[in-house]
């Protein structure tokens, strides 16, 4: 994904079980590096669930709102 910019909304392509995130989780680009991106995943209240460094091939563009995401959280029953 070469045309991504800061604050773009993206969707995970694959599960990241070590971060309790599932494919389809929606996040926001909050940092860009030469080799990747920093993506913030937050809940519906805006509380950060995870800040994850990702490569461009781990996500795709999304029209979804960041708060509407698919995630597993150890804080949920």
Domain boundaries, given as residue ranges, for the chain: 1-34+59-72
- The whole-number pLDDT of residue 29 equals 96
The pLDDT profile of the chain, 77 residues, written as one tens digit per residue, is 458 889 999 999 999 999 999 999 999 999 999 999 999 999 888 899 999 999 999 999 876 655 444 445 444 44
Distance of alpha carbon 68 from alpha carbon 77, whole angstroms: 18
Distance of alpha carbon 65 from alpha carbon 19, whole angstroms: 20
Tokens of residue 72, six digits: 């597993």
- The whole-number pLDDT of residue 4 equals 86
- The whole-number pLDDT of residue 53 equals 97
């Amino acid at each position: 994904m070469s045309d991504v910019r800061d604050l773009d909304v993206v969707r995970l392509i694959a599960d990241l079980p070590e971060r309790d995130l599932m494919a389809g989780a929606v996040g926001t680009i909050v940092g860009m590096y030469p080799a990747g991106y920093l993506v913030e995943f937050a809940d519906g209240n805006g509380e950060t669930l995870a800040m994850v460094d990702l490569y461009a091939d781990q996500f795709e563009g999304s029209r979804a709102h960041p708060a509407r995401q698919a995630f597993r959280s150890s804080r949920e029953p």
